[in-house]
Amino acid sequence: MILALAGGVGGARLAKGLAAVLPPEHLSIIVNVGDDFEHLGLLVCPDLDTVCYTLGGVNNAAQGWGLEGESWAFMDALSKLGGENWFNLGDRDLATHITRKAMLGRETLSAITAYFAAKLSIAHKIAPMSDDPVRSIVHTDEGELAFQHYFVRRRAEPRFRSIRFDGVEQARPSPAFMAALDNPELEAIIICPSNPVLSIAPILALPGIRARLDSRKVPIVAVSPFIGGKAIKGPAAKIMDEIGIATTPAGLASYYGGLLDGIVIDHADSATDEPNIALHVTDTLMRDISDQRRLASETILFARSLIR
């Protein structure tokens, strides 16, 4: 059984590949909630929604987030009323947030996510890292910004200094996260090509998680989100530069602090520094479902090759 840790767009793409090559009982996808935010009286969970929409085949693949075939009548009307229009909520996406808000009073975020996945005919397990609130706060040279204010409103332009995860000390891993970590069939952990600082670090910051990952003694493999030292999409490379960590395999390994047994990298990065961990060099750009399946299969085989 494979445990995949994912954030937004890049993570969702590999998660879709993993779901295409593994049966439901052999995969658990645990998703970052640090980007979640209360907005217009709703709870928006961008990474959970991106993973669900992507595995459900209804995502706006070009945009990365949100639904395909979306309409924007709500945003148009909201703008005319002078509402907060810096964060775009499509009409169909809005139904997700309103439904989640209605369910939150009586259901956990895990249960709500499972409900949405079932509605999208997703057989695989998708769950939040925690059912407790965790909110990423980015410390920049303009002061502290709530995650979406940094990422969307300011387009990640302010200089990144550090990030903290409000509530993480009190947050418990979700039931599915703990079940995967305790599963005797667990054979490997795959860190998807998401932003290491914004999307994966919140998951690893949950109390006890690093120790639990280590104690399972199963291979932990990350798929690098960088190709030729650059991010496919988003500010991952900019942030690594701003915190002084190289976007090379060795830089990525050092960022994860000795957690990794192997890294999957693109050919474009094979000539850079030699991290003292196993490397699998391949084409890591996922253009379509066949790329997603291929990269997923290669990553699983690579992880299995590291089983001690």
Applying the rule CB under 6 A, the residues between 176 and 205 that interact with ligand FO1 are none
Q: How far is the CB of 31 from ligand FO1 (least distance, A)?
A: 10
Stretch in the footprint of ligand FO1 (CB under 6 A) among 86-94, 172-180, 269-277, 281-289: 86-94
* Stretch 260-299: interaction string toward ligand FO1, x if CB under 6 A: ----------------------------------------
Q: Is 46 in the site for ligand FO1 (CB under 6 A)?
A: yes
Q: Name the token pair of 54.
A: 């992507």
Segments in the chain forming alpha helices (H): 9-21, 46-55, 73-80, 91-104, 109-119, 147-148, 175-182, 201-204, 209-215, 236-242, 249-255, 289-305
CB of 117 to ligand FO1, least distance (A): 15
152 binds ligand FO1 (CB under 6 A): yes
Contact status: 127 vs ligand FO1 (CB under 6 A): no
Of all helices (H) and strands (E), which one includes residue 57? Answer: none
Q: Does 35 engage in binding with ligand FO1 (CB under 6 A)?
A: yes
> Binding residue for ligand FO1 (CB under 6 A) from 148, 174, 224, 247?
148
Output the smallest distance, CB 49 to ligand FO1, in A. Answer: 4
Among 6, 13, 33, 66, binds ligand FO1 (CB under 6 A): 66
N- to C-terminal Cα distance for the chain?
16
Count of residues that bind ligand FO1 according to CB under 6 A: 17
Q: How far apart are CA 269 and CA 264, in angstroms?
A: 10
Segment lying near ligand FO1 (by CB under 6 A), choices 22-30, 43-51, 165-173, 206-214: 43-51
Q: Which stretch binds ligand FO1 (CB under 6 A): 44-52, 111-119, 123-131, 244-252?
A: 44-52
Residue 165 structure tokens: 């995860």
Q: Do the beta carbons of residue 100 and residue 43 sit within 8 Å?
A: yes
**Cβ distance 10 to 285 under 8 Å?**
no
Shortest reach from residue 74's CB to ligand FO1, in Å: 12
Q: Which CB sits closer to ligand FO1, 35 or 269?
A: 35
Please name the residue that has the structure tokens 């399946």.
293
Stretch that binds ligand FO1, among 81-89, 122-130, 220-228, 276-284 (CB under 6 A): 81-89
State phi, psi for 117 to the nearest 5 degrees.
-60, -40
Please list, in sequence order, all residues whose beta carbon lies within 8 angstroms of the beta carbon of residue 44, skipping any fewer than 6 positions away. Answer: 36, 37, 38, 87, 89, 97, 148
Among 28, 42, 43, 49, binds ligand FO1 (CB under 6 A): 49
Choose between 92 and 172: whose C-beta lies nearer to ligand FO1: 92
Q: Which residue has the tokens 């047994």?
A: 261
Burial class (CB within 10 angstroms; exposed 0-12, middle 13-18, buried 19+) of 253:
buried
Long-range CB contacts (within 8 A, 24+) of 287-292: 289/16, 289/17, 289/20, 291/17, 292/13, 292/14, 292/16, 292/17, 292/20
Amino acid at 119: K
Question: Which residues does residue 51 pair with via DSSP β-bridges, in sequence order?
Answer: none
Query: For ligand FO1, which residue of 87, 149, 268, 294 counts as binding (CB under 6 A)?
Result: 87
- In the complex, least distance from residue 226 CB atom to ligand FO1, rounded to whole angstroms: 16
By CB under 6 A, tell whether 93 contacts ligand FO1: yes
**Binding residues vs ligand FO1 (CB under 6 A):** 7-8, 35, 44, 46-47, 49-50, 65-66, 87-89, 93, 148, 151-152
